[in-house]
C-alpha cells in the first residue's frame, strides 16, 4: 500500500456515502423524540430544575462580616494589612487575566504544561506535535489552494501556469512545482477534466507521490550497540546548538548516557551556549581552550566517551559556510580523528536547517552536501513558519533524508522525523 493510500484511503476509492436511515426507522426516531419533549413539558421538568437550583442557593453568608471585622481588630494591623495585600494582589491578577484574550491565555497554559485549573496537562503525543507544528504551513497552503480554485471555472493553460506559481511560492521548490504541473497537464488530458475542482485530490495525490519517491525514506537514526557518534553541522543561527541540547535531554530521559563536545571553538558564544545546555540537562560537556584546534577537542571527547562507556556522543561544529575550503578541511580532519578512535564513526553527520528560511535552507543543504557527506537533516523552527513545503523540495532535489524535526521552544520539542506523520500534518483537510 502506497503512502497516499495509508494517509487518505485508496486513490481509486470514491468518497464514502453517508448511510441513509431507512424511511420507517427515521419516522420512528422522530416520533420518539417528539414524545420525550412532550412528556418533559407536561411534567414541568425544566421549570422544576431551575426552581431546585434556586432553592439550593444560600441566601445568607456563612460568616458574618461583623465577625470578620472584629477578628481583624482584635488581631491588630498585621493581619489587616496582610488581608488587604492579599485582596489587592488577587484583584490585580483578576484584572490582568481579564485583559488577556482567551486564545492567548489558552496558549500560555499549553506552553506552561498546565490547564486553567493549574493541573498538569497530559504530554502531547507526537501526532499532536506534528499537527501543531505544521498548522501555519497547512492553513497557509490550504488558503492559497482554496483561493486558487475559487478563481478558476475551467481547466486551461492559465490554470496550470498559476498553479505552478502557487506551488513555487509555497516553498515546495521549482523542480517539484514544474514536475507536478506537467503531470497534471497529462492527467487532465487523459481524464478530459474540465472543472478545476476535479483536480484538487489529484494535486494532493501527486504531492504525496513526489515525496514518496522510491518508497525508501531512511529516516531512522543509526544507533549502535556501543557508542553512537553524531556530528552536527550547519550555519550559525539555525538552531543547531539548541537542537543538540534538546536531543541530549531526550536521550538522557530515555535512559542513555550522553556526552556533548563543543568543537565550535572559534565562536566563544557557541561553547558557552553548549556548556549551559549541558548544565541544564545535567550531561557532561567536553571543551577546549578558546581558539583551540576543533579536532583536538573532538579527540578528547572521543577518548573520554569510550573510557566512560558513553552511549551517545553529540558533537557541535562550526558552520562558516562563507569559507568553504577552510570548513571542508576542518570537517575532514575531525572525521579522521573520530575514525582513529572508532573506525565506523561518525554514525550520523546531520545538517541543521532553519525551515523558516524556505528555499535558502535548500541552498544550504546543497552547499553543505558538497563539503561533507551528510547522512541526514535536522529541520528546526518549523512551528513558527508557513514554509514547511520546503521538505518536499528537499526530498525531490536531494538524496538526503530528514531525520529529526523541531516542534517548538520547549525542552522536549524535538523528535525523530516520520514521513507519514509529516505528510498527514501538512495535507490533512485538503483532500
User: What residues are designated binding site for GTP?
Assistant: 234-241, 316-320, 380-383
Which residues are registered as beta bridge partners of 285?
260
The C-alpha cell that represents 301 in the structure block? 571527547
How much helix, strand and coil, in percent to the nearest 5, is found in the chain?
A: 60, 10, 30
Could you tell me which of 105, 176, 203 has the C-alpha nearest to residue 397? 176
| Vertex 264 angle, CA 262 and 266, to 5° | 130
Distance between CA atoms of 228 and 162, rounded to whole angstroms?
48
Place of cell 532553519: 354
Could you tell me which of 260, 276, 258 has the C-alpha nearest to residue 268? 276
Find out whether 129 and 413 touch, Cβ atoms under 8 Å: yes
| Vertex 326 angle, CA 325 and 331, to 5° | 100
| Vertex 49 angle, CA 43 and 50, to 5° | 120
Distance between CA atoms of 99 and 105, rounded to whole angstroms?
10
Distance between CA atoms of 318 and 327, rounded to whole angstroms?
8
| Residue 263 neighbours by CB under 8 Å, 6+ apart | 294, 295, 297, 298, 301, 315, 316, 317, 318, 334
The C-alpha cell that represents 42 in the structure block? 407536561
- Strands (E) across 4-134 are located at none
Residues tagged in the binding site annotation: 234-241, 316-320, 380-383
80-118 as b/e, with b when 16 or more CB fall inside 10 Å?
A: eeeeeeeeeeeeeeeeeeeeeeeeeeeeeeeeeeeeeee
The four Cα atoms 14, 154, 178, 140 give a dihedral, to 10 degrees, of -70
Place of cell 472543472: 195
Residue ranges of alpha helices (H) inside 116-230 are 126-133, 135-151, 157-169, 174-191, 200-212
Backbone phi and psi for residue 118, each to the nearest 5 degrees, phi listed first: 85, 5
Amino acid at each position: 500500500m502506497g503512502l497516499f493510500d495509508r494517509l487518505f484511503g485508496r486513490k481509486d476509492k470514491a468518497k464514502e456515502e453517508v448511510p441513509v436511515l431507512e424511511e420507517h426507522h427515521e419516522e420512528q426516531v422522530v416520533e420518539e423524540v417528539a414524545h420525550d419533549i412532550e412528556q418533559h413539558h407536561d411534567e414541568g421538568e425544566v421549570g422544576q430544575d431551575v426552581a431546585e437550583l434556586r432553592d439550593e442557593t444560600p441566601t445568607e453568608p456563612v460568616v458574618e462580616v461583623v465577625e470578620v471585622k472584629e477578628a481583624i481588630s482584635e488581631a491588630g494591623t498585621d493581619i489587616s494589612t496582610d488581608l488587604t495585600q492579599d485582596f489587592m494582589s488577587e484583584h490585580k491578577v483578576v484584572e490582568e487575566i481579564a485583559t488577556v484574550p482567551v486564545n492567548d491565555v489558552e496558549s500560555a497554559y499549553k506552553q506552561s504544561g498546565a490547564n486553567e485549573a493549574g493541573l498538569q496537562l497530559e504530554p502531547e503525543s507526537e501526532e499532536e506535535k506534528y499537527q501543531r507544528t505544521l498548522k501555519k504551513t497547512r492553513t497557509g497552503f490550504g488558503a492559497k489552494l482554496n483561493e486558487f480554485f475559487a478563481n478558476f471555472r475551467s481547466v486551461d493553460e492559465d490554470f496550470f501556469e498559476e498553479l505552478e506559481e502557487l506551488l513555487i511560492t509555497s516553498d515546495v521548490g521549482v523542480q517539484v512545482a514544474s514536475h507536478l504541473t506537467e503531470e497534471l497537464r497529462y492527467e487532465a488530458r487523459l481524464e478530459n477534466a474540465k472543472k478545476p475542482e476535479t483536480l484538487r485530490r489529484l494535486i494532493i495525490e501527486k504531492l504525496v507521490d513526489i515525496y514518496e519517491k522510491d518508497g525508501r525514506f531512511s529516516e531512522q537514526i543509526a544507533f549502535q550497540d556501543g557508542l553512537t557518534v553524531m556530528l552536527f553541522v550547519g550555519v550559525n543561527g539555525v538552531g543547531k546548538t539548541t537542537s543538540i541540547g534538546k536531543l541530549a535531554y531526550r536521550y538522557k530521559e530515555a535512559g542513555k548516557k550522553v556526552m556533548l563536545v563543543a568543537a565550535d571553538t572559534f565562536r566563544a558564544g557557541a561553547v558557552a551556549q553548549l556548556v549551559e545546555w549541558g548544565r541544564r540537562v545535567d550531561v557532561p560537556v567536553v571543551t577546549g581552550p578558546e581558539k583551540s584546534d576543533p579536532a583536538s577537542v573532538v579527540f578528547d571527547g572521543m577518548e573520554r566517551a569510550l573510557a566512560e562507556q558513553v552511549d551517545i556522543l553529540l558533537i557541535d561544529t562550526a558552520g562558516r559556510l562563507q569559507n568553504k575550503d577552510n570548513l571542508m578541511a576542518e570537517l575532514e580532519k575531525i572525521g579522521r580523528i573520530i575514525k582513529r578512535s572508532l573506525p565506523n564513526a561518525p554514525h550520523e553527520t546531520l545538517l541543521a536547517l532553519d525551515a523558516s528560511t524556505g528555499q535558502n535552507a535548500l541552498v544550504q543543504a546543497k552547499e553543505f552536501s558538497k563539503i561533507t557527506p551528510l547522512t541526514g537533516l535536522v529541520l528546526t523552527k518549523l512551528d513558527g513558519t508557513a514554509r514547511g513545503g520546503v521538505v518536499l523540495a528537499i526530498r525531490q532535489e536531494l538524496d538526503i533524508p530528514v531525520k529529526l524535526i523541531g516542534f517548538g521552544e520547549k525542552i522536549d520539542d524535538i523528535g525523530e522525523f516520520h514521513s507519514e506523520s509529516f505528510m498527514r500534518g501538512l495535507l490533512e483537510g485538503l483532500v
